[in-house]
Amino acid sequence: MASIFTKIIQGDIPSYKIAEDEKYYAFLDINPLAKGHTLVIPKKETDYIFDLSDEDISGMMVFAKKIALAIEKVVPCKKVGIAVLGLEVPHAHIHVVPINTIYDIDFKQPKLKFTGEEFEVISKEISSKIIA
């Protein structure tokens, strides 16, 4: 069965898309730790990130870099952090999160709530800052 993230890539489940290319897809995390919290995923469904080929995992990081540079133009922050957990959704993903303190990327923190309209605005803002 296709993962929830594969269904997002295929458009069967909606997402607040930030960007995509032929191999990778980025969209807002629906339970964000911070405004702009984004997930970067490979289009080819693979559960464990370290099962990706060298080429695919390095390409994913280069793609995540573009997203991070766009996020920091929209969300004031000290840095953009990344984290990989993958305990919930069995489709490799990198969390890309604007941070000011270590607590901003602590997954035990309560998640933020945004309306659909707010998610839409955030995704469009970040998307517009991506440099190809």
- 1 lies in the site for ligand AMP, by CB under 6 A: no
Longest dimension (CA), the chain: 40
* Contact yes or no for 36/74 (Cβ under 8 A): yes
Binding residue for ligand AMP, selected from 31, 53, 58, 100, defined by CB under 6 A: 31
The question of whether 95 is a catalytic residue gets the answer no
Piece of 54-62, 67-75, 83-91, 115-123 that binds ligand AMP (CB under 6 A): 83-91
Catalogue the E-assigned strands of the chain. 17-20, 24-28, 38-42, 79-83, 94-99
Residues that bind ligand AMP (CB under 6 A): 4, 13, 15, 29-31, 39, 85-89, 93
